[in-house]
């Protein structure tokens, strides 16, 4: 897998935002797969800044990776609100082109099927941006004896709920126990994938993602199978990679 190491989070965000802006200019109806979490906040900031006046979001279509079960779209802790706050309200995106899983749908299995069909109808994801959990999860595909291929309902690990507590006033008990997430095949079918990781907490999972064996115990390791997947990291997240030099 191609790996790019950056001096710091800011340099990484600027470069990835530049590439996404160019991609939107080249393909105005591009289909983007987007993550939430702390890692992409700087990226979204940069992206809003760089696309302003240079690239229109009017025809861009987006699919977010995951959403909590039981949290309505209007709830301040939903991933939809996160995206509104950090990206969508700052760009000229068309609301009907912004796709989210609905964690309050009466039939969650049908909701997962609807999402897969919507991705297919859009022609598939052109560029999927991913974060990574310290446990190696991508989307909410948590480590375990098996992984699900398609969009599905998941039980979150305690570690993942702790890392999302910030969205719920710091109270881990308030973080839902379940979520809906794109599956591993949904992610791996994207034409291009960029995984972003920053900070020393991610050094170990990044090292295993790139150099470790393929294992369901580290879902991100399956990115090694993708023909066009790149890992973009800052120096701290690259700490365990041998011979990595930053740009």
* Residues with a known catalytic role: 66, 135, 137, 142
Count the residues in the chain.
Answer: 247
Q: In this complex, which beta carbon is closest to ligand PGA, that of residue 14 or of residue 114? A: 14
β-pair type (61-64, 31-34) = parallel
What are the Cα distances from residue 100, in Å, to 12, 39, 240, 244? 26, 19, 35, 36
Q: Provide, rounded to whole angstroms, the least separation between the CB of residue 214 and ligand PGA.
A: 19
CB of 37 to ligand PGA, least distance (A): 3
Interacting span for ligand PGA (CB under 6 A) from 34-42, 119-127, 145-153, 168-176: 34-42
Report helix, strand or coil for 55.
Answer: coil
Rounded distance between C-alpha atoms, residue 25 and residue 22, angstroms: 5
Q: Is 37 in the site for ligand PGA (CB under 6 A)?
A: yes
Binder among 38, 54, 59, 89 for ligand PGA (CB under 6 A): 38
Nearest by Cα to 64 from 146, 145, 151, 3: 151
Quote the least distance from Cβ 163 to ligand PGA, whole Å: 6
Interaction pattern, residues 122-161, with ligand PGA; x per rule: CB under 6 A: ---------xxx----------------------------
Annotate 154-172 with DSSP letters as a single string. Answer: EEPPHHHHHHTGGGGTT-G
Q: How far apart are CA 151 and CA 38, in angstroms?
A: 23
Work out which of 39, 62, 151, 186 binds ligand PGA, going by CB under 6 A. 39
CB of 210 to ligand PGA, least distance (A): 16
Scanning the structure block, which residue is given the tokens 């390791």?
Answer: 221
232 in contact with ligand PGA (CB under 6 A): no
Q: How many residues sit close enough to ligand PGA to count as binding (CB under 6 A)?
A: 7
Question: Which one, 115 or 140, has the nearer CB to ligand PGA?
Answer: 140
Tokens of 128: 């999927």
Residue 101 in tokens: 């899983």
Q: Looking only at residues 158 through 187 of this chain, which bind ligand PGA when binding is defined by CB under 6 A? A: 163
| Three-state SS at 246 | strand
User: Rg for the chain (alpha carbons), in Å?
Assistant: 17
Nearer to ligand PGA, 66 or 102 (CB): 66
Q: Take residue 8 and report the two structure tokens written for it.
A: 């710091």
Nearer to ligand PGA by C-beta: 25 or 38?
38
Indicate the residue among 72 and 200 with the shorter CB distance to ligand PGA: 200
User: Binding residues for ligand PGA, per CB under 6 A?
Assistant: 37-39, 131-133, 163
């Amino acid at each position: 897998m191609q790996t790019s190491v950056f001096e710091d989070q800011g340099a990484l965000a600027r470069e990835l935002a530049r590439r996404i802006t160019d991609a939107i200019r080249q393909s105005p109806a591009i289909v983007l797969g987007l993550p939430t979490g702390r890692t992409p906040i700087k990226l979204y900031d940069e992206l809003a800044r760089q696309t302003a006046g240079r690239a229109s979001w009017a025809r861009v279509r987006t699919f977010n990776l995951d959403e909590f079960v039981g949290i309505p779209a209007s709830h301040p802790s939903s991933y939809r609100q996160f995206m509104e706050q950090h990206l969508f309200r700052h760009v000229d995106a068309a609301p009907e082109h912004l796709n989210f899983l609905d964690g309050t749908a009466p039939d969650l299995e049908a909701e997962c099927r609807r999402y897969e069909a919507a991705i297919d109808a859009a022609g598939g994801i052109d560029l999927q941006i991913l974060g990574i959990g310290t446990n190696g999860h991508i989307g909410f595909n948590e480590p375990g004896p098996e992984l699900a291929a398609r969009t599905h309902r998941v039980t979150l690990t305690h570690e993942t709920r702790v890392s999302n507590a910030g969205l719920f006033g710091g109270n881990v008990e308030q973080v839902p126990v379940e979520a809906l997430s794109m599956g591993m095949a949904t992610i791996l079918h994207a034409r291009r994938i960029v995984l972003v990781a920053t900070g020393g907490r991610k050094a170990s999972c990044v090292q295993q993602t790139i150099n470790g064996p393929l294992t369901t115990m580290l879902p991100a390791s399956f990115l090694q199978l993708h023909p066009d997947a790149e890992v973009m990291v800052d120096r701290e997240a690259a700490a365990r990679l041998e011979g990595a030099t930053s740009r």
